[in-house]
Amino acid sequence: MAKLTDDSINDVFTPHLQEGETLKHWAFGVKQPSMLIIVPLMALAILPGVIATQMLTKSYLIAMTEKRFLVLQIKSMGNAEIKEMIEYDLTGFAGNPAKTKTGSLFTHITIEDEAKPFKAKFHRAFSKSNRANALAMAEALSTA
């Protein structure tokens, strides 16, 4: 499994960009199942619990362009095959549906949109630029 790099992430997003759009920031993140599911599964059996948690974890690539915020759900960190895509027009962020939170390890981004909800966390250790990019997007979303 080859790890995603800046170039490969550019290649993943390029077919989904509109004319004249360029990627400003990108980040890789995950959405794990609730702790209310993880803890009982781990308590039942450790190895099946770990496997089940991994099976229920979703991997995301997010990116921001001049006009849009793009979310791609991909198969895994090593396989950037797209499963699902959500796009948000940055001009349509009235009412501020985006909630962001930053800790020492993770940057959390949540978009409370009825038709297109999104929630994921972005670890700083994924790449050198992951935290800076996630923070820049979180900042842009919360002030959009």
Partner 1 sequence: MICPFCEAKTAGNPCEGCGRDTTARRRACPKCHKMSPFGEATCCHCGHEFRNEMRWKIPAIIVMFVAATAAAVAVELFIR
Q: Which residues on adjacent β-strands are paired with residue 25?
A: 64
Does 47 contact partner 1 by CB under 8 A?
A: yes
**Integer CA distances (angstroms), 5 to 11, 17, 44, in order:** 10, 18, 37
Q: Which residues on adjacent β-strands are paired with residue 107?
A: 102, 122
Among residues 110, 135, 111, which one has the least CA distance to residue 27? 135
Tell me which H or E stretch contains 13. Answer: helix 6-13
Binding mask 11-40 for partner 1 (x = CB under 8 A): -----x-xx---------------------
Does 45 contact partner 1 by CB under 8 A?
A: yes
Does 89 contact partner 1 by CB under 8 A?
A: yes
Nearer to partner 1, 17 or 132 (CB): 17
Stretch that binds partner 1, among 3-11, 77-85, 124-132, 135-143 (CB under 8 A): 77-85
Does 50 contact partner 1 by CB under 8 A?
A: no
